[in-house]
């Protein structure tokens, strides 16, 4: 795909999806996040966003993404306004375009989490200010920066030497973004899922175009053993995503249960240093109402990851969650400090 940005391309105005960025630009954001994290930890953080106002639109629920935007903005001196679907006219009484034109006159930037990528793109087009994609059904780009920073911290190899296996539902936001961002970073990326849950042709084409440039190796397989052999990172995501009907659980569990990340999966890597990653939230025990309901339906007390792996020594999921803060802060600084 020749339309991917080259290293010399200008910065996009908004942070909407991975394929708007060159690999060099993506690395710049990861480097900036590492710098901002170090500054925050050693008490030398400088407020670069004083006086900036940021709208946070959440059509879907969130813990990490919302908190990361709010805390990152606070630490950098910016103000945030949180809009949930019931607290604004968006979508039901006012179009995206009209809302965007209003918000663009008041705010310096807008975060959007929702269903359609086209809504994030429309907000960017009509608001005239930078828009930050906090997750759509198609892409989850802020998550990918946090994942990359976490890999850099825990896997002592250059990105181009990292083997990253992702198991489970790879046709939704996290799986698609992980394929593309891993290819962008030149990794040996393995997507391990039944054919129905493998990435669509668009995501594959974008990833291959990056791979042609970065030397990434891409494997898409339904065979767990092949997929995880030699992996440095094993990742997964929940099996039924926000916006999907709860009736999907029983069939989904039957379709994906062989792709659970458990002690056997980690052993199959044959790599004692392999780390386990998950964007969270996760169903690894019966401490959630959905987890208990799915247990009643299927008899499985852990879904996409077993509790021993989630809480075990190879798991870096809470470092990964913390890195949402530092990487989202890097996005805000890179796009608003202009
Ligand atoms: N990983 C992630 O996006 O988490 P939240 O849904 O809690 O924001
Ligand atoms: N695929 C998940 C990601 C949550 C961060 C969802 O869309 O619900």
Instruction: Say which CATH number the domain at 224 has.
Output: 3.40.50.1370
Confidence of residue 338 (pLDDT cuts 50, 70, 90): low
* Percentage of the chain exceeding pLDDT 90: 93
Residue 2 has pLDDT above 60, yes or no: no
Vertex 140 angle, CA 33 and 13, to 5°: 65
Closest C-alpha residue for ligand 2 atom 6: 241
- Are residue 226 and residue 308 in the same domain, yes or no? yes
Average pLDDT over residues 290-312: 97
Tell me, what DSSP letter sits at residue 101?
A: H
Give tens-digit pLDDT for 26-84. 999 999 999 999 999 999 999 999 999 999 999 999 999 999 999 999 999 999 999 99
Beta pairing, strands 109-113 & 217-221: unpaired
Helix axes 249-256, 289-298, angle to 10 degrees: 70
Among candidates 275, 53, 317, 332, which has minimal Cα distance to 157? Answer: 275
Domain count of the fold of the chain? 2
Gap from CA of 319 to ligand 1 centroid (Å): 14
* Percentage of the chain exceeding pLDDT 70: 99
Ligand positioned closest to the Cα atom of 323: 1
Residues with a catalytic annotation lie at 113, 140, 143, 237, 279, 324
The answer to the question of residue 147 being in a domain is no
Indicate the SS3 state at residue 80: strand
Kindly list the distances between the CA atom of residue 168 and the CA atoms of 92, 192, 284, in Å, as whole numbers in the listed order.
34, 7, 14
The answer to the question of residue 3 being in a domain is no
Instruction: Annotate 286-297 with b (16+ C-beta within 10 A) or e (fewer).
Output: eeeeebeebbee
- Are residue 164 and residue 112 in the same domain, yes or no? no
Give tens-digit pLDDT for 158-217. 999 999 999 999 999 999 999 999 999 999 999 999 999 999 999 999 999 999 999 999
**Tokens at residue 229, please?**
């052999």
- Report how far residue 288's alpha carbon sits from residue 269's, in angstroms, rounded to the nearest whole number: 30
**Tokens at residue 159, please?**
């990105």
**Tokens at residue 19, please?**
């394929």
The answer to the question of residue 230 being in a domain is yes
Helix axes 141-154, 23-41, angle to 10 degrees: 70
Tell whether ligand 2 has an atom less than 6 A from the beta carbon of residue 242. Answer: yes
* pLDDT of 85: 76
The answer to the question of residue 250 being in a domain is yes
CB-CB contact of 19 with 180 (8 Å): yes
Confidence of residue 233 (pLDDT cuts 50, 70, 90): very high
Radius of gyration of the chain (CA): 19
- Are residue 234 and residue 183 in the same domain, yes or no? yes
Among candidates 59, 87, 85, 82, which has minimal Cα distance to 70? Answer: 82
- Report how far residue 300's alpha carbon sits from residue 311's, in angstroms, rounded to the nearest whole number: 17
Gap from CA of 270 to ligand 1 centroid (Å): 30
Indicate the SS3 state at residue 133: strand
Containing structural domain, residue 203: 156-272+275-313
- Are residue 28 and residue 120 in the same domain, yes or no? yes
- Are residue 61 and residue 98 in the same domain, yes or no? yes
Among candidates 113, 19, 138, 98, which has minimal Cα distance to 62? Answer: 113
The answer to the question of residue 176 being in a domain is yes
- Are residue 194 and residue 249 in the same domain, yes or no? yes
> pTM for this structure?
0.97
The answer to the question of residue 13 being in a domain is no
* pLDDT of 150: 99
- Are residue 249 and residue 305 in the same domain, yes or no? yes
Atom of ligand 2 nearest to the CA of 174: 1
Place of tokens 């990152």: 72
Place of tokens 């539902």: 169
- Are residue 195 and residue 123 in the same domain, yes or no? no
- Report how far residue 305's alpha carbon sits from residue 285's, in angstroms, rounded to the nearest whole number: 9
- Are residue 307 and residue 164 in the same domain, yes or no? yes
Tell whether ligand 2 has an atom less than 6 A from the beta carbon of residue 279. Answer: yes
CA atoms lying within 13 Å on the CB side of residue 265: 29
* pLDDT of 1: 47
- Are residue 104 and residue 172 in the same domain, yes or no? no
- Are residue 217 and residue 237 in the same domain, yes or no? yes
* pLDDT of 9: 83
The answer to the question of residue 146 being in a domain is no
Closest C-alpha residue for ligand 1 atom 7: 63
The answer to the question of residue 132 being in a domain is yes
Backbone angles phi, psi at 65, to 5 degrees: -65, -45
Average pLDDT over residues 287-303: 96
- Are residue 90 and residue 175 in the same domain, yes or no? no
Mean pLDDT score across all residues of the chain:
96
Which of 174, 322, 324 maximizes ligand 1 atoms within 8 Å of its Cβ, making it the mutation to test the pocket? 324
């Amino acid at each position: 795909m020749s339309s991917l940005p080259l290293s010399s391309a200008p910065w996009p105005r908004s942070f909407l999806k991975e394929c708007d960025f060159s690999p060099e630009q993506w690395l710049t954001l990861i480097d900036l996040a590492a710098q901002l994290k170090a500054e925050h930890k050693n008490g030398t953080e400088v407020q670069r966003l004083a006086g900036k106002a940021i709208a946070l639109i959440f059509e879907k629920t969130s813990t990490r993404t919302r908190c990361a935007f709010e805390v990152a903005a606070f630490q950098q001196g910016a103000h945030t306004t949180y809009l949930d679907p019931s607290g604004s006219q968006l979508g039901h009484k006012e179009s995206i375009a009209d809302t965007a034109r209003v918000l663009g006159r008041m705010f310096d930037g807008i975060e959007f989490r929702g269903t359609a990528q086209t809504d994030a793109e429309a907000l960017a087009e009509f608001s005239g200010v930078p828009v930050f994609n906090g997750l759509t059904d198609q892409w989850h780009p802020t998550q990918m920066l946090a994942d990359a920073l976490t890999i850099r911290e825990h896997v002592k190899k250059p990105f181009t030497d990292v083997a990253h296996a992702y198991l489970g539902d790879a046709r939704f936001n996290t799986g698609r973004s992980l394929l593309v961002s891993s290819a962008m970073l030149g990794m040996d990326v393995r997507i391990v899922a039944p054919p129905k849950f493998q990435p669509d042709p668009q995501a594959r084409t974008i990833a291959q175009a990056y791979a042609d440039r970065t030397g990434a190796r891409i494997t898409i397989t339904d065979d767990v053993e092949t997929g995880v052999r030699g992996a440095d990172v094993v990742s997964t995501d929940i099996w039924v995503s926000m916006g999907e009907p709860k009736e999907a659980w029983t069939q989904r569990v039957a379709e994906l249960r062989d792709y659970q990340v458990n002690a056997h999966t980690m052993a199959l890597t044959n790599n004692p240093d392999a780390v386990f990653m998950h964007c969270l939230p996760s169903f690894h025990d019966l401490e959630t109402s959905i987890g208990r309901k799915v247990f009643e339906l299927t008899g499985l007390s852990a879904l996409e990851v077993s509790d021993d792996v989630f809480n075990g020594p190879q798991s870096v999921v809470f470092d990964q969650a913390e890195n949402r803060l530092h990487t989202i802060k890097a996005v805000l600084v890179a796009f608003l400090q202009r």
